[in-house]
Amino acid sequence: MGEVSGYYEPLLKETDEFTGNKKTPLWVSSAKLALKAVMCVIFILWVAFIFLRPAEFMSNFSDTLTNATKGTVFGITGSIFLLFSAPILIIAFLAIPHLILSGEDEVQVKKAGKGASFRLWTFPVLVDGPFGVVTAAEMIGIVLFAVFTVWAVVMYTIQNYKILGEFDVAFKEKCIFLLELTGLRFGFIGLICLAFLFLPVARGSILLRLIDIPFEHATRYHVWLGHLTMALFTLHGLFYVIGWAMQGRLIEELLAWKHIGIANLPGVISLAAGLVMWATSMPGVRRINFELFFYTHQLYIVFVVFLALHVGDFVFSIAAAGIFLFMLDRFLRFCQSRRVVDVLSAKCFPCGTVELVLSKPENLRYNALGWVFLQVRELSWLQWHPFSVSSSPLDGKNHLAILIKVLGGWTGKLKEQISSLSDGNDDQSETQTLLKHYQKITASVEGPYGHESAYHLTYENLILVAGGIGISPFLAILSDILHRINDGLPSLPKNVLLVWAIKNSDELPLLQTIDMEGICPLFSDKLNLEIKTYVTRETEPPLEEGIASKPVSSSCVFPSLTGRRMSGLVGTGHVVWSGLYLVASTIGMVICVAMLNVLYINPFNVTYWWYKGLLFMGCMAAGIVIFGGLVICLWQLWERKTASPKEDFNGADDLAIKQQREPRMDKISGQEQYVSTVRYGQRPDFGEIFGSMSERWGNVDIGVILCGPPALQTSVAKECRTQNLKRRNNQSIFHFNSHSFDL
């Protein structure tokens, strides 16, 4: 809590009760403030230009700027790129020094002060409906895009009728002309939305790290923008189809591939690919058949390439920046995912949950609310599945753990693989077990992704709400807080309530995978921890409750002989190398375009629009692969050089990890340093829970972090909103944070 509401200071740079570190140097604060101001000005001017572009005066101003700058070697393509795409790349460039100055270990917290305050990003406004849970800040974004779309349609409609009034033709010809002109306008509005569409799904993007939006949140924005973009492109194509049908030349126009001007057939192919992706991304299809959604979504390559062929290079440059940043991220992820990662241990729990412990380098940076995408090539070469990290970065320097709930075919096969390895461990030698392991389990990892800052450390009071396997990230949070208390590191949480809803009591052992007293003895002196567990499908405890039953049905530990660790190329990785990769790739693209114009396009008078669009895409790819690829090679060499030789695991290291992750079953809940209750046949009453916490903790900010199914998200968000709206001065403000991932 701060004296000035909403004011944040870096905890590790501030001299306070948690740390004796000095304050942030004045030049660092000034430089960060200046960079942020410049980025804000560029972004506001860019958004204002795009928003006002449909107006006639801004259209004329845009044409004037284009004509004034098209005399360079880059031609009109460079002029349009400068207006529509360059600003977002400039902001990305400026974000690099800003993130470097912010520091890799900086934790942002509010100064202690008088009371709680509302925040747009954590105040749920809508909790039901097609958008799911929407915060106030997200609602502002939705409204802005809706207003822009309506504004653009209205302005372009007015302009269309003005243009139509200048022609003295028959009514039918006027209708056809109006249809085609309207279709053209919808296509332009769709391109503007496309300029934003790929930004949220660049998982390790500098921009996402700058504004601290984790990938699981950004994915929702991509979904919303995808619906809007495809609706506009569908209207774009539909208006043209109707006009061509009225002229009686529908098939001829659909198959036309003009050399000068718009090539229709590539546009048809691009739109068809987009419609297939759109149809299979609907919630019903996506949840019932995820594999169909995943495979058809790879058609984005067809969609983008044929879009470039359809409109040519200079029109495509309107949306080029977002696509370029996505291509940067995709190539980096490809390079990271080629590395095979050692699985140090694997466990199967009776409740149908699998725990994997993966090998990672010591310098891999992530926070407790991280995600990884996992591929097991023996199960599928194409499928990548997201999982929350269940271990704190302080649990160990060289390993990372994830919990996987067995729900479908892929996870079922994974459990069978682990069970088969575990069953054979008793009858085989260690060498045979190792050979069997390396033959059958080969993991590849993308990430970790997540918030740039560990926001769970920014609240003194936390309510963690988990549904089923949603307990996974909260195990990491609890471990992280306990490690920080034990090691004397900055950590703000003083009161933590964990509410866990599960279907059956066989899931209870998952909570015991974290040895709280082993991490931080006598932690109750500094942390008030309460755990409330609700077993919804059982009305009474099972007969064996209270007996120290073994929580793991099968497990196997594999000593790592190869030292194959995760790569730190993607996620919240090294800012300097990420920045060099972005800068080198962008410069490479510019050089490729310039050389292409000087050595080929201008001397040979290449004028085919579709061909120049393809060449422009080639220059984007060449800049990333050649120039960016060189940086990646140097980055990987640097990783190997700076890696400690002690990072290679041996049997002793593996045994230590196993002992650290093995639950302690010899303790009874009542003897521990926290209050733990298990209620059977009940669901959490969030009204009663939140109300009692508000009365107990008083006028404070309470961070509510949720990980669970949509119904649970809705219930918790609705209660947060209700409590905030009826709040009195002496009561708490609840800040809703969702950690639920839904592709």
- Give the C-alpha separation, 382 to 13, whole Å: 44
Q: How far is CA 648 from the centre of its chain?
A: 30
Phi, psi of 2 (to 5 degrees): -120, 160
Q: What is the pLDDT of residue 326?
A: 94
Is 57 part of any domain? no
179 Cβ contact partners less than 8 Å away, ≥ 6 residues apart = 239, 240, 242, 243, 246
Q: What is the pLDDT of residue 582?
A: 94
Q: What is the DSSP letter of 18?
A: S
More confident call, 102 vs 428: 102
CB 362 within 8 A of CB 349: no
Residue 42 vs residues 39, 55, 408, 418: alpha-carbon distances, Å: 5, 20, 46, 53
What band does 441 get if pLDDT is binned at 50, 70 and 90?
A: confident
| Listed residue (232, 231, 209) closest to 325, CA to CA | 209
Residue 565 vs residues 60, 343, 357, 361, 649: alpha-carbon distances, Å: 56, 9, 11, 6, 10
**How many contiguous H segments (helices) and E segments (strands) does the chain have?**
25, 17
Q: How far is CA 287 from the centre of its chain?
A: 19
Torsion of CA 503, 504, 508, 511, to 10 degrees: -20
CB 702 within 8 A of CB 694: yes
Residue 239 vs residues 181, 233, 236, 242: alpha-carbon distances, Å: 9, 10, 6, 5
Q: What is the pLDDT of residue 562?
A: 62
Give me the domain span that covers residue 484. Answer: 343-565+663-684
| Listed residue (345, 312, 309, 255) closest to 556, CA to CA | 345
Q: Could you give the angle at which helices 56-69 and 75-84 cross, rounded to 10 degrees? A: 130
Three-class DSSP category at 501: strand
CB 163 within 8 A of CB 59: no
Q: What is the pLDDT of residue 430?
A: 52
Residue 223 vs residues 140, 248, 494, 520: alpha-carbon distances, Å: 17, 37, 37, 42
Is 317 part of any domain? no
**pLDDT tens-digit readout, 249-306:** 999 999 999 999 999 999 999 999 999 999 999 888 887 887 888 889 999 999 999 9
What band does 649 get if pLDDT is binned at 50, 70 and 90?
A: very low
Is 15 part of any domain? no
| Listed residue (141, 53, 48) closest to 87, CA to CA | 48
pLDDT above 50 (res 7):
no
Is 421 part of any domain? yes
pLDDT above 80 (res 555):
no
Q: What is the DSSP letter of 731?
A: S
Is 264 part of any domain? no
Highest mean pLDDT among 3-17, 85-99, 437-451: 85-99
What band does 742 get if pLDDT is binned at 50, 70 and 90?
A: low
Q: What is the pLDDT of residue 652?
A: 39
List the structure tokens of 91. Answer: 């902001």
Q: Which secondary-structure segment (H or E) carries 373?
A: strand 370-376
CB 85 within 8 A of CB 319: yes
Residue 603 vs residues 50, 73, 406: alpha-carbon distances, Å: 34, 12, 61
pLDDT above 50 (res 547):
no
**Sign of the Cα pseudo-torsion (428, 430, 434, 437, in order):** positive
Percentage of residues in the chain having pLDDT higher than 70? 85
Give the number of other CB atoms < 10 A from CB of residue 78. 23
Q: What is the DSSP letter of 444?
A: E
Q: Facing residues of 497 across strands?
A: 463, 530
Range with the poorest average pLDDT among 406-410, 445-449, 707-711:
406-410
| Listed residue (573, 100, 555) closest to 344, CA to CA | 555
**pLDDT tens-digit readout, 335-365:** 888 888 888 888 888 888 888 888 888 777 7
Is 397 part of any domain? yes
Alpha helices in 441-552 (DSSP H): 472-487, 516-519
Q: What is the pLDDT of residue 431?
A: 52
Reported as half-sphere exposure (CB side, CA atoms, 13 A), residue 241 has a value of 11
Q: What is the pLDDT of residue 413?
A: 83
Is 293 part of any domain? no
Q: What is the pLDDT of residue 10?
A: 43
Query: Which CATH number fits the domain that encloses residue 473?
Result: 2.40.30.10
Mean pLDDT of all residues in the chain?
83
Return the residue matching tokens 């271990």: 391
Pairing of strands 528-535, 495-502: parallel
- Give the C-alpha separation, 58 to 65, whole Å: 10
**pLDDT tens-digit readout, 43-96:** 999 999 999 999 989 988 998 988 888 888 899 999 999 999 999 999 999 999
Q: Which secondary-structure segment (H or E) carries 659?
A: helix 651-661
| Listed residue (59, 225, 204, 72) closest to 144, CA to CA | 225
Phi, psi of 385 (to 5 degrees): -125, 135
Is 208 part of any domain? no
Return the residue matching tokens 């302080």: 394
Three-class DSSP category at 376: strand
CB 592 within 8 A of CB 385: no
How many domains does the chain contain in total? Answer: 1
**Does 551 sit behind a cis peptide bond, omega within 30 degrees of 0 on the bond before it?**
no
Q: What is the pLDDT of residue 301?
A: 95
**pLDDT tens-digit readout, 123-134:** 999 988 788 889
Radius of gyration of the chain (CA): 28
Q: Is 287 left (phi over 0), alpha (psi -120 to 50) or beta?
A: alpha
Residue 553 vs residues 346, 405, 556, 577: alpha-carbon distances, Å: 11, 14, 11, 43
CB 76 within 8 A of CB 314: yes
**pLDDT tens-digit readout, 607-647:** 999 999 999 999 999 999 999 999 999 988 888 887 655 55
